[in-house]
């Protein structure tokens, strides 16, 4: 035998050298079995020591499989008194010689020597397979393969809170990357503190926590264990630092009342990890990385640890959902980690425990963030802002995981604080609290799961809830994840029986034909009922190359023409060589600026004079009839808002301050812009947008300065050169000299920041 393959939930190929260690040991066992079958080595059967000698070798044989160290100790410590009769001397000498020979051969085996180094047979075997046992809990982790190569990409190595270090590896022969986390504060603990941590975790595993608030229990226990470790260390004279105590407290709390330290640490990587997948117990956990796609990890949970983690999820959910043999599927949101947990157990699986954990953003996306991620064009961002503020109903469509819920939630900021907003959802994916604490009038309605067609439940169905909420007064209704037949029928009825209702909803579909076929063939609803929805936005995933990053972008958008009974294409994504060179073709404007991704040279005052309209979008035309404001005004407002969102994104890149594209700052800027436009409105709703943009520049700079001043300790300041040159480039965008200055700005800014 040259090589051995070890198969469990994973497959490990042992090379010839490691295989030789195991085959050598197996050869010794075969020799020992042959010796055990012989009777002449024990002497005469009449010898009083005959049966004792057989027993000694049998016990040695058993311990060879269990613990080689004990086997060696048993055989080497065997002592037999000299026989009283000379007739038994030959048997005595023969057996003693065999024992010495067996012992000599045994201690020379490489596996025995490896066991002597590692401590036991299990640890020795794990070292051969590249696995290692966790010290604090009974579980295994994989080792980094010896041929793994760290990626040189700057985004492949970074640090997370609590000192966690991340490194992405490429493994030759493997398609997916390897995502490796290290926890130096825990890995470098002295032996005394490691023993204390292990003992505490094992003791706390036996505890049950009743009448406690599981939403905050993780934080409470972290502090409690931290203080406990400090007190115990002082009592026992063990040196400990506050940082070590905090790391130990968090590690202990994670295993006892959390999801386990592995998943808790993976959840810290909110900016890069979107999903955590568990196929079964003892199977390696793998993740979805925003840049590197599916990545394997070194972590895995055994059955007991996985059951405990799932049980803690159920308790944290407050007992609203059951997770047992009668309810083998659980779908809840763990608010502490902003994580949607989809768990499965038997009989919904073949005896395994499965889980898919999606890490959600604690705060919703903004249009500026979408521009920063190259998900849409500035003009589309402005146009979408305008139509949402006008109350156009919209369906956001796309395949699974394309970002429908996030895009729907981003529209709430455009709705504003002067309208009542009510999201209806079975799982709290839209971050209601993030909007509510910022002054939005947003409620929250919980309905039965979208997959449940009928049956007894304590929760209202989606249609009944929507109708009940609309009877309470006018509101913007957001329906998340429309999946069941009754929900689709209810939405169609709602849109057709209450024309003009402001409804945002999302469902899984890839094209308009897909929606039409589903309505007619599956649900038996006439496709003509689709015209009641003003807009249909389709999102899609794209990538460049086989290992390129996945981008979620707007694919195309249609608007409903009720009079002509047709759908009019408004925007379409045009692919370029790179994501920076992609564009979104605007079908209703001939101006090239409407399809540009770079708004540096877009002059709002010139757009007033040069606006070239191919046709008026039907949804916009209907809103113009209601408001009495001309379509040109709304289109110019779209350019204004698009450039505003673009400038925010541009400042974020120049200053390296990602908080500028987050909800707080974008909302502050958008509110100021809306107030400015309202104050400049003349008769028939006309606004001089060229003048508005000139007034807007100093307002935006002042808001930006105030924002930076609040966080001045972060050492992020606006360079004076940017302010002066930025204003000059806006006033004279066509001059080549200023254009060159604009290109040099990022370099100057970086130098300032480094100083």
197 lies in the same domain as 313: yes
Question: Are residue 181 and residue 273 in the same domain, yes or no?
Answer: yes
- Which residues on neighbouring strands pair with residue 339, listed in sequence order? 334, 359
**Residue 559's pLDDT band (cuts 50, 70, 90):** very high
Residues 6+ apart with CB under 8 A from 691: 605, 680
- Do both 260 and 144 map to the same domain? yes
Percent of the chain exceeding pLDDT 90 equals 45
- Compute the average pLDDT of residues 247-273: 94
Instruction: Note whether 367 and 384 are within 8 A (CB).
Output: yes
Same-domain check for residues 15 and 45:
yes
Q: Which residue has tokens 């965008």?
A: 733
Most confident of 84-98, 421-435, 616-630, 716-730: 616-630
Q: In terms of residue numbers, what domain contains 268?
A: 133-359
| pLDDT value at 466 more than 50 | yes
Average pLDDT over residues 492-504: 77
**Cα 747 to Cα 755: distance, rounded to the nearest angstrom:** 13
User: Hey, which residues does 141 pair with through a beta bridge?
Assistant: 132
**The pLDDT of residue 619 is above 70:** yes
Residue 240 shares a structural domain with residue 314: yes
Please check whether residue 449 lies inside any domain of the structure.
no
For range 33-38, the mean pLDDT? 87
Distance linking the first and last C-alpha atoms of the chain: 63
Q: Is residue 456 predicted with pLDDT exceeding 50?
A: no
Is 82 contained in some domain?
yes
Question: Hey, which of 65-69, 208-212, 361-365, 375-379 has the most confident mean pLDDT?
Answer: 375-379
Please report whether residue 487 resides in a domain. no
> For residue 716, which of 655, 665, 659 has the smallest C-alpha distance?
655
Of 344, 359, 374, which residue sits at a domain end? 359
Task: Please state, rounded to an integer, the average pLDDT across all residues of the chain.
Answer: 85
Whether the predicted pLDDT of 670 surpasses 90 = yes
Tell me the percentage of the chain whose pLDDT exceeds 70: 88
Instruction: Label residue 746 by pLDDT band (50, 70, 90).
Output: very low
Q: Which residue has the tokens 């983690």?
A: 309
Domain boundary pick from 359, 393, 426: 359
Highest mean pLDDT: which of 356-365, 441-450, 621-630, 638-647? 638-647
Find out whether 96 and 102 touch, Cβ atoms under 8 Å.
Answer: no
Band (pLDDT 50/70/90 cuts) for residue 535 is: very high
Please tell me whether residues 295 and 327 are part of one structural domain: yes
Pairing of strands 165-170, 149-150: antiparallel
State the Cα angle at 368 between 362 and 374, rounded to 5°.
100
- pLDDT, average across residues 291-316: 91
Query: CB-based burial of residue 643 (10 Å sphere; 0-12 exposed, 13-18 middle, 19+ buried)?
Result: buried
Phi, psi of 528 (to 5 degrees): -65, -20
Number of helices followed by number of strands (H, E) in the chain: 26, 23
Question: Is the pLDDT reported for residue 13 higher than 50?
Answer: yes
Q: Are residues 71 and 10 in the same domain?
A: yes
Under the banding of pLDDT at 50, 70 and 90, the label for residue 726 is very low
Query: For residue 358, what are its two tokens?
Result: 């999606």
Does residue 695 surpass a pLDDT of 70? yes
Point out the domain boundary residue: 337, 359, 381.
359
Classify 433 in phi/psi space as left (phi over 0), alpha (psi -120 to 50) or beta. alpha
Strand partners of residue 543 = 550
User: 164 with 30, same domain?
Assistant: no
Residue 538 lies in a domain: no
- What would you report as the CA-atom Rg of the chain, rounded to the nearest whole angstrom? 34
- Listing DSSP states for 66-87 in one string gives H-HHHHHHHHHT---PPPSSGG
**For the chain, percent helix, then strand, then coil, each to nearest 5?**
50, 15, 35
The number of C-alpha atoms within 13 Å of 682 and in the hemisphere containing its C-beta is: 8
DSSP 594: G
Buried b (16+ CB within 10 A) or exposed e, 287-303: bbbbebbebbbbbbbee
Alpha carbon 368 to chain centroid, angstroms:
21
Segment among 490-499, 523-532, 618-627, 714-723 with least mean pLDDT: 714-723
The predicted pLDDT at position 443 comes to 83
Say yes or no to pLDDT of 249 above 60: yes
Beta-carbon contacts of residue 331 (< 8 Å; ≥ 6 apart)? 321, 340, 341, 342, 343, 426, 427, 449
Give the model confidence (pLDDT) of 105-129 as tens digits: 999 999 998 888 888 787 787 777 7
CA distances from 732 to 106, 668, 692, 725 (A): 88, 28, 17, 10
The residue behind tokens 């808002």 is 641
Q: Is the pLDDT of residue 633 over 90?
A: yes
Assess if residue 206 is contained within a domain: yes
How would residue 652 be classed by pLDDT, with cut points 50, 70 and 90? very high
Distance of CA 223 to the CA centre of its chain: 26
- pLDDT, residue 173, reads 84
Residue 372 lies in a domain: no
Q: How many residues does the chain have?
A: 755
Find, among 91, 108, 109, the residue nearest to 54 by Cα.
Answer: 91
Question: Does some domain include residue 345?
Answer: yes
Residues 102, 143: one domain?
A: no
Integer CA distances (angstroms), 207 to 74, 149, 211, 217, 314, in order: 39, 43, 13, 14, 17
Residue 715 — very low, low, confident or very high, per pLDDT cuts 50/70/90?
Answer: very low
Whole-number pLDDT of residue 10: 59
Rounded Cα–Cα distance for residues 735 and 531 (Å): 47
Could you tell me if 251 and 217 lie in one domain? yes
In a domain, 447, yes or no: no
With 0-12 CB in 10 A as exposed, 13-18 as middle and 19+ as buried, what is 491?
Answer: buried
Is residue 181 over pLDDT 60?
Answer: yes
Helix axes 462-471, 485-497, angle to 10 degrees: 30
The enclosing domain of 313 has a CATH number of 3.30.450.380
Residue 717 pLDDT exceeds 80 = no
Same-domain pairing of 92 and 107: yes
* Residue 11: predicted pLDDT: 62
Q: What is the pLDDT of residue 360?
A: 87
pLDDT band at 713 (very low <50, low <70, confident <90, very high): low
- DSSP bridge pairs for 537: 396, 557
Distance CA 252, CA 224 (A): 10
Dihedral over Cα of 725, 726, 730, 733: its sign: positive
User: Any idea what the Cα angle at residue 77 is, between residues 71 and 78, rounded to 5°?
Assistant: 95
pLDDT one-digit tens code per residue, 304-321:
999 999 999 998 877 677
Handedness of CA 529, 531, 533, 537 (dihedral sign): positive
For the stretch 73-108, what's the b/e string if a residue is b when 16 or more beta carbons lie within 10 angstroms of its beta carbon? ebbeebeeeebeeeebeebbeebeebbeebbeebee
Q: How far is the C-alpha of 696 from the C-alpha of 338, rounded, in Å?
A: 36
CB contact burial 517-531 (16+ within 10 A = b; e otherwise): ebbeeeeebeeebbb
Q: What local confidence, expressed as pLDDT, does residue 353 receive? A: 94
Residue 84 is predicted with a pLDDT of 78
**Token pair belonging to 208:** 């049950």
Do 79 and 147 belong together in one domain?
no
**Residue 732 pLDDT greater than 80, yes or no:** no
Give mean pLDDT, residues 213-240: 92
Q: Which of 154-168, 179-193, 348-362, 516-530 has the lowest mean pLDDT?
A: 516-530
Report how many domains make up the chain.
Answer: 2
What's the CA gap between 202 and 493, in Å, rounded? 57
User: Average pLDDT of 230-247?
Assistant: 93
């Amino acid at each position: 035998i040259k090589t051995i393959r070890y198969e469990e939930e994973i497959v490990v190929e042992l090379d010839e050298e490691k295989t030789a260690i195991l085959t050598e040991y197996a050869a010794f066992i075969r020799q020992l079995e042959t010796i055990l079958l012989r009777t002449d080595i024990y002497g005469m059967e009449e010898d009083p020591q005959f049966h004792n000698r057989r027993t000694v070798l049998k016990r040695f044989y058993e311990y060879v499989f269990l613990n080689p160290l004990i086997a060696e100790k048993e055989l080497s410590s065997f002592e037999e008194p000299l026989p009283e009769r000379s007739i038994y001397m030959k048997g005595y000498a023969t057996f003693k010689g065999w024992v010495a020979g067996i012992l000599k051969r045994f201690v020379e085996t490489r596996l025995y020597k490896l066991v002597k180094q590692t401590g036991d047979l299990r640890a020795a075997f794990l070292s051969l397979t590249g696995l290692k046992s966790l010290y604090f809990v009974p579980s295994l982790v994989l080792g980094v393969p010896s041929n793994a190569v760290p990626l040189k990409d700057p985004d492949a190595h970074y640090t997370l809170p609590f000192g966690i270090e991340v490194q992405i590896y490429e493994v030759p022969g493997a398609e997916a990357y390897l995502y490796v986390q290290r926890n130096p504060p825990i890995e470098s603990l002295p032996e005394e503190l490691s023993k204390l941590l292990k003992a505490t975790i094992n003791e706390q595993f036996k505890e049950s926590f009743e009448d406690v608030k599981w939403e905050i229990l993780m934080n409470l226990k972290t502090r409690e264990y931290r203080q406990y470790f400090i007190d115990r260390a002082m009592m026992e004279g063990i040196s400990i630092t506050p940082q070590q105590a905090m790391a130990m407290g968090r590690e202990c709390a994670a295993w006892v009342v959390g999801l386990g330290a592995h998943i808790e640490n993976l959840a810290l990587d909110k900016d890069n990890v979107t999903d955590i997948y568990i196929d079964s117990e003892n199977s390696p956990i793998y993740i979805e990385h925003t840049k590197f796609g599916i990545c394997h990890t070194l972590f895995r949970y055994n059955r007991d640890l996985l059951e405990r983690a799932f049980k803690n999820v159920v308790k944290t959910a407050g007992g609203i959902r059951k997770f047992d043999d009668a309810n083998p599927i659980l779908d809840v949101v763990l608010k502490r980690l902003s994580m949607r947990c989809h768990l499965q157990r038997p009989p919904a699986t073949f005896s395994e425990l499965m889980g898919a954990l999606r890490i959600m953003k604690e705060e919703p996306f903004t249009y500026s963030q979408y521009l920063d991620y190259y998900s849409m064009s500035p003009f589309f961002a402005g146009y979408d802002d305008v139509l949402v503020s006008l109350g156009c109903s919209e369906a956001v469509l796309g395949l699974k995981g394309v970002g429908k819920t996030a895009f729907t939630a981003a529209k709430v900021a455009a709705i504003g604080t002067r309208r009542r907003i009510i999201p209806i959802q079975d799982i709290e994916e839209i971050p209601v609290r993030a909007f509510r604490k910022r002054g939005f009038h947003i409620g929250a309605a919980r309905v039965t799961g979208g997959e449940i067609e009928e049956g007894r439940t304590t929760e209202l169905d989606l249609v009944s809830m929507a109708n009940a909420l609309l009877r309470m007064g006018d509101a913007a209704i957001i329906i998340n994840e429309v999946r069941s037949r009754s929900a689709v029928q209810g939405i169609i009825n709602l849109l057709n029986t209450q024309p003009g209702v402001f409804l945002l909803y999302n469902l899984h579909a890839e094209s308009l034909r897909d929606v039409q076929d589903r309505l007619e063939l599956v649900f038996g609803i006439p496709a003509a009922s689709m015209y009641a929805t003003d807009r249909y936005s389709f999102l899609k995933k794209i990538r460049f190359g086989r290992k390129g990053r996945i981008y979620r972008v707007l694919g195309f958008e249609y608007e409903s023409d009720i009079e002509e009974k047709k759908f009019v294409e408004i925007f379409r994504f045009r692919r370029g060589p790179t994501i920076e060179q992609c564009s979104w073709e605007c079908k209703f404007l001939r101006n090239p600026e409407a399809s540009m991704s770079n708004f540096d040279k877009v002059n709002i005052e010139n757009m007033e004079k040069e606006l070239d309209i191919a046709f008026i979008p039907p949804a916009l035309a209907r809103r113009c009839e209601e408001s009495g404001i001309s379509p040109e005004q709304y289109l110019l407002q779209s350019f204004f808002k698009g450039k505003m969102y673009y400038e925010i994104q541009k400042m974020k890149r120049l200053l390296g301050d990602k908080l500028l594209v987050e909800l707080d700052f974008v909302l502050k800027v958008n509110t100021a812009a809306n107030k400015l436009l309202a104050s400049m409105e003349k008769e028939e709703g006309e606004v001089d947008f060229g003048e508005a943009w000139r007034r807007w520049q100093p307002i935006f700079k002042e808001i930006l300065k105030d924002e930076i001043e609040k966080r001045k300790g972060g050492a992020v300041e606006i360079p004076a050169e940017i302010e002066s040159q930025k204003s000059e480039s806006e006033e004279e965008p066509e001059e080549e000299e200023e254009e060159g200055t604009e290109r040099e700005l990022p370099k100057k800014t970086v130098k300032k920041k480094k100083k």
